[in-house]
Amino acid sequence: MRVTEFLNPRRLLALGLVLVSLGLAACSEDDPEYIERPVEELYNEAMDMLEVRNFEAAILAFEEVDRQHPYSVWATKAQLMSAYVNYRADKYDEAIIALDRFIDLHPGNRDIAYAYYLRAIAYYEQIVDVGRDQKITRLALDGLRDVVRRFPNSEYARDANLKIDLTQDHLAGKEMSIGRFYQRREEHVAAINRFKTVIQQYDTTTHVPEALHRLVESYVALGIRPEAERTASVLGYNFPGSDWYANSYALLEGGRNLDAPDEDSWLSWTWSWIF
């Protein structure tokens, strides 16, 4: 065949159509055929995958429910279930994104309280030790408080309240860790601010007695005896049997009998409050 005949426009067009058809055929062999299936069948298949803990397959199956039947009630259920499966698979970020979407799209849904609760728990499960940044802990606390505020009579509020206490104790522990760090460096003003934060913002946590004692230590180190005595009095009034109170007393009185304070001693203020 001559070159001029091969470059004939009609021949080129025909050749192009053949190549395109071959390309489409190759793609159709690689890509699975799209088949629309009944929504109940898709949803039940996703639940089956979840039951056998095949989380990856379950996520894809729930997403397929939403994709094929976006306006059905099953699609709404599938959105929430997809978030739950991501949570079960420890994919907390994906779960939170899915829950944010569900809450935005379905604020009046009957399962909305659970969506708020699951989002808070997805943050809660990511809480790290006090030696690291506590941004996630604060997000968990905000989420748990949101559950209690919005759904105080729901079945999730009681557990949320319990986890709020644990989360606050964790945040107080972080403040104590930083305060002790400053105290070791003899940066007592910075330490005092941290210990005061524990007393003022986390006053129901287990860290308060130590925070009061550490304040006494820092005030003594700075030579502010009246503040040290006043703080020790507060510690003695609220936690009279604690080791932290005994330590504060020993620091201020240097071996004087704790059970028989002098009438003019700062300790007599504490005993007058108690008795």
Higher-confidence residue: 39 or 90? 90
Burial class (CB in 10 A: 0-12, 13-18, 19+), 258: middle
pLDDT value of residue 255: 46
Give the C-alpha separation, 83 to 98, whole Å: 5
Three-state SS for 74-104 is HHHHHHHHHHHHHHHCCCHHHHHHHHHHHHH
C-alpha distances (whole Å) from 126 to each of 10, 58, 88, 122, 178 are 65, 23, 13, 7, 21
Q: At what angle do helices 112-124 and 157-184 cross, to 10 degrees?
A: 20
* 3-state class (DSSP) for residue 263: coil
By C-alpha distance, which of 215, 188, 211 is closest to 198?
211
CA nearest neighbour of 85 among 142, 47, 131: 47
Residue 155 Cα distances to 127, 142, 275, angstroms: 23, 18, 43
User: Can you tell me which residue has the tokens 């989420």?
Assistant: 143
Look at the block and give the residue holding tokens 């028989």.
260
- What is the pLDDT averaged over residues 81-96? 96
State yes or no: pLDDT of 133 exceeds 90.
Answer: no
198-203 contacts: CB < 8 A, separation 24 or more? 198/172, 201/172, 202/168, 202/169, 202/171, 202/172, 202/175
Which of 121-125, 228-232, 250-254, 261-265 has the lowest average pLDDT?
A: 261-265
Q: What is the mean pLDDT of the chain?
A: 84
What distance in Å separates the CA atoms of residue 79 and residue 93, rounded to the nearest whole number?
A: 15
The model carries a pTM of 0.76
Look up residue 97 and give its two tokens.
């994104």
Lowest mean pLDDT, pick from 67-71, 101-105, 175-179, 195-199: 67-71
CA distance 82 to 95: 8
241-258 average pLDDT score: 81
